[in-house]
Amino acid sequence: MIECRNLAKNYGTLTAVSDISLHLREQEFISILGPSGCGKSTLLRLIAGLEVPSAGQVFLQDKEISGKKISLPPERRKFGMIFQDFALFPHLSVEDNIAFGVNGSASEKQQRVQELLKLVSLPQLAKKMPHQISGGEQQRIAVARALAPRPRLILMDEPFSNLDYQLRQQLRRDIRDILKHEGVATILVTHDQVEAITFSDRVLLMRDGKLVQSGTPEEIYQHPQTLWASSFVGEANHLSVEWQSPALNSAFGLLNVPEAIGKEARILMVRPEDFVVESATDGDSNGIVKTVDFSGSVQTIGVELNSGETIQVSGSPHLLWTPEDSVKITAERYLCFDSAGNRLNGCSSGSASK
């Protein structure tokens, strides 16, 4: 329903967004994920019509709404927006906030307000003023207000970052359910990978104003396009590797990869859960346990490899290691990256062999 073509935005000499194309389907949830200052909020504001693009176009149902000649004002796009500070109108009561964007007679407005208060499970707050309710309640009211005019699309700009951890998780689920129930397409902007992964059907990864990768959360986690993406989404161990014909030499032995790829490979990426740790019998140890962190469902150990590199390995909490244990480490799954940090196709998985 929404399509961006080669969208760009400059502020003077500063490029906030450059050459971004994306396509959002009906009822789809996507997240735009990236570190602060990567231009993700600007991209959202370009779609909202709050900013005018320097180049490129935005289409709504194949009709151009932002471009060289046209810029449909935000109030005529019928998109709902949820802001980081919620932006509830402090001079209006909760019900007046929700009714703000609703057209129709007083009784129609009243009915819609009641529906939405029920939807966000806060019917008792109708007469309260925004400063009298909690942060989590303000958040839900902001969602109700954005949904009230029946928008085609919901845009969310870091909507959970003002809330504390526990509340954030609860609200994320609730709000996702509400939006799914309403069947409205949603774009979420966030710097929090967990939020992006758990909230959306598809994640767009942004860095320095550019789109780095787009895909389902699993795709991005399992097959990051770049080294940066591998460590921005999830934990990653980066180990240096060297081609020694006929195999790739790593800290835990030689890896079988095709020669053409092996020659390009410089860095090996292994997720902490993709290592296998065994007690070393004499002679085959390739690392020593240095730290042991127990955090409930997983145990994370820091291992200093014989190569001098340190890796983080996570596993079942039942195998309790202690510092200075000699261990034998193998990698069950890995990815290779070239000197520019881009992933090499055909160099993945398989297990290391001696």
Partner 1 sequence: MRSSAHSGGWNFFTLSLALLFALPFFSLLFTAASAEENVWVHLLSTVMPGYLKNTFWLMLGVGSGTLILGVSTGWLISMTEFPGRRIMEWALLLPLAFPGYIIAMVYVELLEYSGPVQTQLRLWFGWQNFQDYWFPPVASIGGAVTMLSLVLYPYVYLLARTAFLQQPATLMEASRMLGKSSKNSFLHVSLPLARPAIVVGVSLAMMETLADFGTMQLFAVQTFTTGIYHTWFGAYNAPGAAQLALSLLMFISVFVFLERYSRKQQRSHTQNSIQTQHPRNSLSGIKAVAAPLFCLFPVVFGFALPAGLLIQWAANSWREVMLERFFSDAGNSLLLAGLTAVLAVLLGVLLVYGSRISKRRRIRWAARTVSLGYTFPGPVVALGVLLPFAWFDRTIDAWMQATFGISSGYLLSGTLVILVFAYLVRFLALAYGTVESGFGRITSEMEDASRSLGKNTWQTLKGVHVPLLRGSMLTAGLLVFVDVMKELPATLMLQPFNFSTLATRAYGYATEELLREASLWCLTIVVVGLFPVIFLNRQLRESAPQNLQDKDHD
Contact indicator for 182, 218 with CB cutoff of 8 Å: no
97 CB-contact burial (10 Å; exposed 0-12 / middle 13-18 / buried 19+) = buried
Q: Are strands 2-11 and 298-305 parallel, antiparallel or unpaired?
A: unpaired
53-70 as b/e: b if 16+ CB within 10 A: beebbbbbeeebbbbeee
The nearer residue to partner 1, 141 or 331, going by C-beta atoms, is: 141
Q: Examine residue 253 and tell whether it contacts partner 1 (CB under 8 A).
A: no
Compute the radius of gyration of the chain from its Cα atoms. Answer: 25
| Span near partner 1 by CB under 8 A; candidates 85-93, 195-203, 213-221, 341-349 | 85-93
The nearer residue to partner 1, 79 or 334, going by C-beta atoms, is: 79
Q: Examine residue 179 and tell whether it contacts partner 1 (CB under 8 A).
A: no
Query: What residue type is assigned to position 12 of the chain?
Result: G
Q: Examine residue 72 and tell whether it contacts partner 1 (CB under 8 A).
A: no
Among 5, 54, 72, 100, binds partner 1 (CB under 8 A): 100
| Span near partner 1 by CB under 8 A; candidates 58-66, 80-88, 241-249, 303-311 | 80-88
Write each residue from 112 to 151 as x if it is in contact with partner 1 (CB under 8 A), else as -, in one continuous string. Answer: -----------------x-x-------------xx-xx--
Among 1, 55, 83, 330, binds partner 1 (CB under 8 A): 83
- Token pair, residue 308, equals 């001098």
Q: Examine residue 106 and tell whether it contacts partner 1 (CB under 8 A).
A: no
Match 């001079």 to its residue by tokens: 91
Q: Residue 82 Cβ, how far from partner 1 at the closest point, in Å?
A: 9
| Span near partner 1 by CB under 8 A; candidates 81-89, 249-257, 266-274, 281-289 | 81-89
CA distance linking residue 49 with residue 42, whole number of Å: 10
Interface with partner 1 in residues 7-66 (CB under 8 A): 12, 48, 50
The nearer residue to partner 1, 24 or 212, going by C-beta atoms, is: 24
CA distance linking residue 354 with residue 32, whole number of Å: 42
Query: Is there a cis peptide before residue 246, judged by omega within 30 degrees of 0?
Result: yes
DSSP structural state of residue 263 = H
Among 84, 222, 326, 330, binds partner 1 (CB under 8 A): 84
| 197 Cβ neighbours under 8 A, 6+ residues apart | 31, 203, 217, 221, 233
| 347 Cβ neighbours under 8 A, 6+ residues apart | 248, 257, 258, 261, 262, 265, 335, 336
The nearer residue to partner 1, 12 or 308, going by C-beta atoms, is: 12
Q: How many CA atoms lie within 13 A of 160 on its CB side?
A: 24
CA distance linking residue 74 with residue 334, whole number of Å: 46
The nearer residue to partner 1, 189 or 303, going by C-beta atoms, is: 189
The nearer residue to partner 1, 71 or 222, going by C-beta atoms, is: 71
Q: Examine residue 80 and tell whether it contacts partner 1 (CB under 8 A).
A: yes
Q: Examine residue 183 and tell whether it contacts partner 1 (CB under 8 A).
A: no
Q: Residue 310 Cβ, how far from partner 1 at the closest point, in Å?
A: 39
The nearer residue to partner 1, 74 or 272, going by C-beta atoms, is: 74
| Span near partner 1 by CB under 8 A; candidates 1-9, 87-95, 271-279, 339-347 | 87-95
Binding site for partner 1 (CB under 8 A): 12, 48, 50, 73-76, 78-81, 83-85, 87, 89-91, 100-101, 103, 129, 131, 145-146, 148-149, 155
